[in-house]
Structure 1
């Protein structure tokens, strides 16, 4: 009986010790996607880039460099140095201006005029700093599509 009591006390102590370690702090690769693309009157684009932090800790997004392709045509490179802190498992948006290539402009104009979706691809890297750690480079590759926003001329979401 005494051995059983000692074993139960030891087991309870082990359980208590396991609980005291706190939540797991993991760093997951961030992601980026286009939340909105607005075609401006001068032909430039205003791109609302959604930066997503899938880590269980805050991360500071230092630099973004992503090649953008729309409708199978190179549009240019989205570059930003947002210095933006994003909480764990959260997201935020940064606006990037872009002077797109001619073929990409035509693809976007055609999608807007025909009221159809515009496939896009982002490829490049995000430099981010997890809390209490060194800056890391994360490779990003995203494929998705944008659709004309009803009632908002020149806007794809």
Structure 2
């Protein structure tokens, strides 16, 4: 049986606190809950997932590079606060030949003004935000169609 195409699901700072961190904004699902839902969905789509979370910018960049070297089909990226600050992550997305899909639980454009700029979004192939945990499932469906 051939290897399944891999989709990296990369999560940035503070996403390890989902479920308890501002549930009125981010919901009650933990990151593990979201990953479990995605794993079940990926099985039905014929995909393999590589789910990871870090609070460190350079680690996210290393993982984006790794996705490229590994020949990943796509990357779902919720860069957390780095979305609005990291030119380095923007540049990493532009330097790999793997489609990156930006994911957010909330809709940053309806929140504080500093969240309206997305350096990730400027380089991403697609964007899903404001649908809670369903932002991830919508993004995975899109990745499967690539």
With structure 2 as the length reference, what TM-score do the two structures score? Answer: 0.25
More strand by share: 1
More helix by share: 2
With structure 1 as the length reference, what TM-score do the two structures score? Answer: 0.24
* Larger Rg belongs to: 1
